[in-house]
Structure 1
C-alpha cells in the first residue's frame, strides 16, 4: 500500500511530514525504534531539499511517497524546484574535529546513511529524487 503527501517548501511543513511518516509506519505495527529512525531520516532529507535546494521557496513543492514491498519500506522524495540537488558522497564526519571546531550542521546525511539501508539521489527529467529504503524483518 502506498501513501503520498505533497508539501510546499517551507520548514513550517516539517511537522506535517514527520506526522505523515509516523502515522504510516505506526499503522504497520513496527517497533518504535524503527519508526523513529525512518522519521528522522525522512525529516533530514526533506529539510535539506527545503533549505538547500529550494531556499525555502513556498511556491516550490516536494512529493513524498511511502510504500511497502514485501519486507522493504521504500520512501521517495521528489523535488520539483528549478535546481538539481545531488549531495556528494557522505563519509562519516570526524566527530572530534566537529567538537573541537564547534561546528554545527553537516552531519545530517551521514546520519541518514546510517539509519537507512539504501540512500540514492538521482534525477528524473529536470527534478531531483531521493530514494530511501529500509529492510524490515
Structure 2
C-alpha cells in the first residue's frame, strides 16, 4: 500500500484484511490493531467488511445521504494518528476538551473528523495545502460549543 497516498482499493483492502485477520485470530500489525478498534466502534460496517467481493467497487454518494464507511474509518485513523503525535500542535488538547464537553471519546473523534474533512475538502477545492490554522480554529469552535 502506498504510504501517503493509497488508492481507493488499497484502503478498502486494508480494512477488509484487518477485519478478516482479526476474525481469524491472525496477528495484526499495529495499524491493523488500531483499525480493528475503529471497526469495533462501528458495527454498522461489519457486514460491509465481511463481504469484500460485494463492496470493493461500491460507490457512495453523500448527496444521496450515503456514508462511505471506508472514508469514515480512514478519518478515524487519521485523527488517532494526529492525536498520538499532537500534530497539528494543539489537537490533543482540543480532543481532551471536546471529550470532556461531550463525555464520549468516540463522539469527540467525530467532532474532530468534521473539522478534518472540511479542511481537506477546502484544500482540494482551492487546490492549496490544508490550512492548519483553519483546522485548529474549527476545533476551537467545537470545543467551545459554537459548532456541532
Superposition TM-score, scaled by structure 1 size:
0.30
In our comparison, the structure showing a higher alpha carbon Rg is 2
Larger relative helix fraction: 2
The structure with higher relative contact order (CA 8 Å, sep 6+) is 1
